[in-house]
Each structure stands twice: as C-alpha cells, then as structure tokens.
Amino acid sequence: MADLSLRKVKKVYDNTVVAVQAFDLEIADKEFIVLVGPSGCGKSTTLRMVAGLEEITDGEIYIGGRKVNTVPPKDRDIAMVFQNYALYPHMTVYDNIAYGLRLRKFPKRVIDQKVREAAEILDISELLKRKPKALSGGQRQRVAIGRAIVREPQVFLMDEPLSNLDAKLRNQMRSEILKLRQKVNTTFIYVTHDQTEAMTLGDRIVIMKEGFVQQVGTPQEVFHHPSNLFVAGFIGTPQMNIFDAQLIREGERFFVELGGLRVELSPEKSARLLAAEVDSQPIKLGLRPEHLSLTEREDAVSAVVDVSEMMGSAVHIHVNACGQDVVIVVPLGEEEESGSMPIGMPVRFTFRGSAAHVFDPETGHNLEYPKTAEPEPEPEPLPEPAPAPLQEPQAEESAGEPIPEPSPEPAAPAEPEPAPLPKAEAVTVPEVVIPQEIFDDPVVPPLGDPFAEDEENL
Ligand code: ADP
C-alpha cells in the first residue's frame, strides 16, 4: 500500500517521439486508477515508467513518499501483470506462483502459505498441480495475477490484463478484478483501451490522447462533465451525438438552439457558463443517445428513422437529423417486445437542458469549464468507437523484455499541481514501433522477471 506522485513526468523516445507529455498526477493510497485511451496514447509508457521499465525523460515519480526515478524495478515494491500472462510452461501452477518468492529466498513454509492464500483468493486451489497448458486463458491469467499477489506489493500495475481473453471471459474477469481489489486492498494502476473497463473498475480515470492527459476524474465526472469533445466521444456507449448548434445567452439564462428547437439549460449549467464568461456563440452540442427522447411535440427536432437495433432492454434507433446520423436509445418496458420502427418513418426528438453539453467548436473545450491560461488544443475529431475487445492491435509485451536502467535524474523540487486539462501544442505521434512478438504457443514463457532478484540464485 502506498500513495504515488507523478510530477511533470514526461517521456520522449529517441529524442523525437513524445510518447507522454509532462503531466502531474497524485494517486492516493489504495486508490484504483485506470489509464485509458486509444492505442498509442502513452498509457503503457506511463505505467512502465512507474514500474521502472522505462526511463523517465523528465519529471519525478514518488512511491510511498520515496523518489524512485533511479530505483530499479525490483526495488520499487511493485508487481505488474501484463497482457501476456507470462507463465513458465514447464512449471506447475504452484511453482509458477511460488517462483518470485523462491528467488527472494522466502522460507518454504511462508511460500506455501502465501501460494495457497493467493490460490484461494483467485479460486484456483484445485489447479495448483496443473501445468499452464492444461489451463484455460482465464485460469492462466489468474495464475499470472497470483504470481503478482504473493509479492504483496505496495503498488499493483496491470497492463491490459484482459486483452487476450474472449468477450465473455473478459466480463467475468472484470468482476473478478473488482473482487480482487477488495481482497488485496492495495494501490492499483490499470491500463486499458476499453472505456467500459475503465468506467467499471476505476475510482478515478485518466483519459489520454496522443501523449496528453485529457481529463482526470471519477467515472461520474468524466461521463457527466467531459472536459472536451474527445473525452465526450470516448466515454460512453453508444457514443455521444455531436451537433452544430447555437448557444444563446439572455441575461443570466442560457439556451441551445438545434433544428428549430430551443431548450433552456439547467440553472447549474447556466451558472457555470456565466462564471466562465461565455456569451452567445456557435457551439458543438453534445447529447448522449440515452438523453434524447422521442416526442410528438411540434417544435421538436425532426428526424427520419434509418435503422433500429434491438438490444434487449432498449432499442437503439439510428435516425437522420440535422443532416447527420444520430442515435437515440429508447428503453423498453417489461411488456414491450419490440420497439423497432420502420425505415423511413418520420419521428421527432427532444432533450432536457440538464443533458446538453456545450463545446467550443474551435477548440473542443467544454465551455462550462473555466478557460485555461494556456492555449487550447486543435479541434479534435471524434474518436472511432472503442474497438471490440478481441481486436486490440497493441504491441504484445512479455514479462521478459530487456529492462533499461534509468539514468540518474537531477532532483529538482516540484510542487504537485492539479491534474491538467487539455494541453496546447499538437504532437506528431507515429505508429507503434515496438517489435511485435508472435507467440505460437499460447503459454508464453517469461524470459526473465524484472521485479525479481537475480534469477541465477534460484
Ligand atoms: P499505448 O499504451 O497507449 O498504446 P504506448 O505508451 O505504448 O501507447 O506508446 C505511446 C507512443 O510511444 C506511441 O506512439 C508508440 O509508438 C511510442 N513508443 C512506444 N514505445 C516506444 C519505443 N520503445 N520506441 C519508440 N517509440 C515508442
């Protein structure tokens, strides 16, 4: 258990690729933090800097109050679980879990107790004598987590631990991780590209894009108060609808106008816009599909049904409105069997002022947020919908990569600052260049354990 402090932490690869722009983040003891964003946004690099697997170009990292910039991974008191559950194929589950403890020369009795406790937590006590080949993907991932649990680390790092599992198993393991978190009760930093995983697991979520931290907040905060268009589009499924619209200010009241419909914003929103000194202006209006409602009202926004998708408890109606595709989620009552609507059917929809998100069309900045002193980023195109769980194109990593030793950093005192909102200059982030390893054998043998003592002492 430990708190973490990341101060102006930055990573530049080969003097050219800015993988992570300087940012500050304070992580409380026992907090579960999720780093989330599209592939290549810098989340793994950030995690690997905390682990000590990647040298920090600039800034400082503190774990439990101790500056660890030059501390090697094995002395940081952390454990890491990777996407590839790196297990030794020739060892039993028991020996795989015990491995790190044996390296550290723990007494046999202690090792036995810890292995059995971890197996109990992970519900794999029955499998201790098996070899990894005789396990399912989910079971292997549990063993990999077991290897990390027995270390009783101060900080638990997880890099896309569920990416290799199929959708059903992934959902199951997600709730397992929630349970694990209750039992292990330590500080977690978890990396994923999947916003659902981030929303369900994180106490707080750090949303990244192209090396920039876009927003840090609780799932509720980032969902209800996205700091910019990127976060608005990335968090929530189906994706938020974005319209070109108009913001009207009348004294201290604010209205949005869309397709002939005028809706007054809630007093809370108006108060924030007033405080931010916003005036009437063209906006990007964000409306979540579940916040649009079909209506008979004459003044509502006109639309034409394109297609309707039956999702069980709701119907997702895709319509054409204001010259663009719009999704409306219509919940279905218990008795309703089908809420589908014929293609070409004219409908109307409306929305409440409390559900409207107003963004600056130039910068993508949420106008309810105070203007930052720094210039705003370039307008953001909306992200592609989150990729399906099995299509993760990210580079594969094994626990046995060579570990660069971080070079000594000058100790420059820096005050922690609040988490930054979107930063200025755009960076060019090239495609992933990490060599892709293709493992034919589903059981990937770890080539070395970066968090263990000298392996030759085994
Ligand atoms: P994510 O985990 O969000 O997918 P990464 O942290 O792996 O992203 O990568 C961030 C950026 O840094 C990407 O543009 C990637 O190509 C680049 N990058 C990652 N590792 C290296 C490396 N070893 N050398 C050069 N560039 C790298």
In the structure encoding, which two tokens stand for residue 427, read together? 């960076």
Cα atoms found within 13 Å of the Cα of residue 166, Cβ hemisphere only:
3
Residues with Cβ within 8 Å of 141's Cβ and at least 6 positions away in sequence, in order, are 81, 85, 161, 162, 164, 165, 173
In the block, tokens 């979107």 appear at: 422
pLDDT tens digit sequence for 295-318: 999 999 999 999 999 888 899 999
Q: Ligand 1 centroid vs 46 CA: distance in angstroms?
A: 10
Residues found in the chain:
458
- Confidence (pLDDT) at 179: 87
Please list, in sequence order, all residues whose beta carbon lies within 8 angstroms of the beta carbon of residue 167, skipping any fewer than 6 positions away.
388, 389, 390
Distance of CA 173 from the midpoint of ligand 1 (Å): 26
List the helix and strand counts (H, then E) for the chain.
Answer: 9, 20
Ligand 1 pocket test: which of 11, 13, 47 has the largest number of ligand atoms within 8 Å of its C-beta? Answer: 13
* Ligand 1 atom 16 nearest Cα: 432
Write phi, then psi, for 410 (nearest 5 degrees).
-65, 140
What one-character-per-residue DSSP string does 263-282 give? EEPPHHHHHHHHHTT--SEE
pLDDT for the residue 448:
52
Residues with Cβ < 8 Å from 336, sequence gap 6 or more?
none
45 lines ligand 1 (CB under 6 A): yes
Distances (CA, A) of 315 to 115, 195, 345, 360: 47, 21, 15, 31
- Check if 38 has its Cβ closer than 6 Å to any atom of ligand 1: no
Residue 427 burial (C-beta neighbours within 10 Å; 0-12, 13-18, 19+): middle
Quick one: angle between helices 167-184 and 108-122, nearest 10?
130
Q: Give the atom of ligand 1 at the shortest distance from the alpha carbon of 11.
A: 12
Q: What residue ranges define each of the domains in the chain, with the CATH number in brackets?
A: 4-222 (3.40.50.300), 225-359 (2.40.50.100)
Tell me if 88 sits within 8 A of 96, measured CB to CB. Answer: yes
Which residue ranges in the chain fall short of pLDDT 70? 334-339, 372-458
pLDDT at 375: 45
pTM exceeds 0.85: no
Atom of ligand 1 minimally distant from the CA of 37 = 3
- What pLDDT sits at residue 336? 64
Question: How do residues 357-378 score in pLDDT, each as one tens digit?
Answer: 999 999 999 999 987 655 444 4
Q: What is the pLDDT of residue 452?
A: 57
Measured from the Cα of 160, ligand 1's closest atom is: 2
Distance in Å, CA 17 to ligand 1 centroid: 8
CB 190, CB 200: distance < 8 Å: no
How far apart, in Å, are the Cα atoms of 195 and each of 16, 389, 449? Answer: 29, 11, 30
Instruction: With beta carbons less than 8 A apart as the criterion, state whether 344 and 305 touch.
Output: yes
